């Protein structure tokens, strides 16, 4: 790849939103890697610092507060918006992340979301922004995912692919209309209506028993992780996410600090926190993304580290309901 290739800049750039609370070291690495991305100087960044909920949050919170004050003078972004919360918003419909999205969407029709524990490829912003431009009018694409699972995905001459089994929130771009359409659907009434159609159950079944469990949980309004809800949503609505051949993101939250990345599988931990990421500063979309589509679907279902057996599904249903 020619690193000196002049990129065709999009007419507008998606802002990046980063919710944070007390993980100072992670946030610093996240922001520093983002500043090294191509087009960082064209990008607006919104950082929302939530208010501590417990005593253990304060040390990291104060470090982040000082860091953000200095970052206002040293950042390399087009604009840096820092939102300091006076009370703890937490997560959920009215949480820190959701409020940041609403703020960004007031002035932009697209955005890039990342948690504070991600490290980015130098071409992360190029991949996401070009993807948002390329698939803007393709309603079958839900989002552009910068993270790529390390499953044995097959490729031809393409350097990106489409799939509808696993949505990843670890650095993704999305359009305002698609996000708010999803938000309107995030209620038990919507999911119960979807459950009436047997075809939806078949679509979810093809994506694994873990997705069936997620669908049941959504219908009966029990807790479902953000990624899982979106994975069920795209499957039922015949939508895909776009992912790069080589991951543009490394998730450091697997070191145990991530809210939903706790596991006893040490090999899984190491695989994530040492995952190689794309090193080039430019990216050109090649192919149509549907190469080996059916084969890759099976690979995602069979190799998913979130997969469960039918027996596990029954156990979870008994425990939850």
Instruction: Pick left, alpha or beta for residue 308 (phi over 0 → left; psi -120 to 50 → alpha; otherwise beta).
Output: beta
- Listed residues 75, 94, 116: the one ending a domain: 116
User: 37 phi and psi, to 5 degrees?
Assistant: -75, 145
> What are the distances in angstroms from CA 159 to CA 154, 201, 217, 283?
11, 32, 35, 9
User: 43 phi and psi, to 5 degrees?
Assistant: -110, 130
The two beta strands, 160-163 and 240-244, are antiparallel
Q: Is there a single domain that holds both residue 104 and residue 22?
A: yes
Q: Is there a single domain that holds both residue 255 and residue 129?
A: yes
Note whether 272 and 254 are within 8 A (CB). yes
Q: Which residue matches tokens 């600090």?
A: 257
Q: Is there a single domain that holds both residue 21 and residue 143?
A: no
Kindly report the CA angle at 303 between 301 and 305, in degrees rounded to 5? 100
- As for how many domains the chain has, the answer is 2
Q: Is there a single domain that holds both residue 86 and residue 126?
A: no
Q: Which residue matches tokens 């939530």?
A: 50
Q: Looking at beta carbons, which pairs linking 254-261 to residues 24 or more positions away fall under 8 Å?
A: 257/23, 257/26, 257/117, 258/115, 258/117, 259/91, 260/225, 260/227
Q: Is there a single domain that holds both residue 136 and residue 70?
A: no
Is residue 279 included in any domain, yes or no?
yes
CA dihedral angle for residue 98, residue 103, residue 107, residue 112, rounded to 10 degrees? -40
Query: Of 126, 128, 170, 163, whose CA–CA distance to 273 is shortest?
Result: 170
Q: Is there a single domain that holds both residue 240 and residue 107?
A: no
Q: Which domain holds residue 295?
A: 121-167+175-321
The C-alpha atoms of residue 57 and residue 171 are separated, in whole angstroms, by 24
Q: Is there a single domain that holds both residue 150 and residue 23?
A: no
Bridge partners of 250, per DSSP, are: 119
Is residue 88 included in any domain, yes or no?
yes
Is residue 3 included in any domain, yes or no?
no
Q: Is there a single domain that holds both residue 44 and residue 129?
A: no
Q: 5 Cβ partners below 8 Å, 6+ apart?
A: 282, 284
Q: Order of strands, edge to edge, in the sheet holding 44-49?
A: 79-84, 44-49, 16-20, 110-113, 172-175, 141-145, 240-244, 160-163
| Residue 241 host element (H or E) | strand 240-244
The pLDDT, as a whole number, for residue 9 is 81
Is residue 2 included in any domain, yes or no?
no
The pLDDT, as a whole number, for residue 242 is 98
Q: Which residue matches tokens 């795209």?
A: 234
pTM, to two decimals: 0.93
Is residue 21 included in any domain, yes or no?
yes
The pLDDT, as a whole number, for residue 280 is 97
The pLDDT, as a whole number, for residue 257 is 65
Q: Is there a single domain that holds both residue 77 and residue 134?
A: no
Q: Is there a single domain that holds both residue 105 and residue 132?
A: no
The two beta strands, 79-84 and 44-49, are parallel
Is residue 5 included in any domain, yes or no?
no
pLDDT in tens, 251-307: 998 887 655 555 567 888 888 899 999 999 999 999 999 999 999 999 999 999 899
Q: Could you report the average pLDDT of every consecutive run of 10 residues in the chain (321 residues)? A: 61 95 97 98 98 96 97 96 96 90 96 97 98 97 97 97 96 97 88 95 96 92 76 96 98 74 73 93 96 98 93 88 69
For residue 108, the domain's CATH number is 3.40.50
Is residue 313 included in any domain, yes or no?
yes
Q: Is there a single domain that holds both residue 131 and residue 194?
A: yes
Is residue 82 included in any domain, yes or no?
yes
Q: Is there a single domain that holds both residue 128 and residue 203?
A: yes
């Amino acid at each position: 790849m020619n690193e000196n290739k002049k990129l065709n800049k999009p007419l507008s750039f998606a802002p990046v939103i980063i919710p944070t609370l007390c993980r100072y070291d992670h946030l610093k690495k996240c922001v520093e890697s983002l500043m090294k991305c191509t087009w960082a100087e064209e990008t607006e960044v919104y950082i929302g610092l939530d208010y501590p909920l417990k005593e253990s949050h304060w040390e990291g919170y104060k470090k982040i507060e000082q860091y953000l004050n200095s970052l206002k003078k040293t950042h390399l972004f087009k604009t840096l918006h820092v939102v300091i919360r006076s009370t703890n918003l937490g997560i959920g419909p009215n949480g820190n992340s959701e409020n940041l999205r609403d703020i960004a969407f007031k002035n932009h029709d697209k955005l890039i979301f990342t948690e504070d524990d991600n490290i980015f490829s130098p071409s992360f912003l190029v991949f996401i922004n070009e993807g948002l431009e390329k698939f803007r009018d393709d309603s079958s694409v839900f989002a552009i995912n910068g993270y790529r699972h390390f499953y044995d995905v097959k490729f031809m001459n393409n350097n990106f692919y489409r799939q509808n089994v696993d949505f990843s929130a670890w650095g993704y771009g999305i359009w305002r209309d698609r996000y708010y359409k999803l938000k309107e659907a995030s209620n038990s009434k919507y999911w119960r209506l979807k459950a009436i159609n047997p075809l939806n159950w078949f679509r979810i079944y093809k994506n694994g028993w873990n997705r069936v469990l997620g669908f049941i949980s959504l219908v009966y309004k029990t807790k479902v992780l953000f990624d899982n809800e979106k994975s069920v949503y795209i499957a039922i609505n015949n939508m895909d996410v776009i992912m790069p051949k080589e991951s543009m993101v490394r998730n450091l939250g697997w070191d145990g600090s991530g809210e939903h990345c706790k596991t006893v599988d040490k090999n899984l931990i190491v695989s994530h926190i040492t995952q190689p990421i794309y090193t080039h500063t430019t990216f050109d979309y090649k192919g149509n993304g549907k190469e080996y589509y059916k084969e890759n679907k099976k690979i995602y279902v069979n190799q998913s580290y979130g997969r469960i057996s039918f027996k596990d599904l029954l156990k979870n249903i008994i425990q939850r309901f």
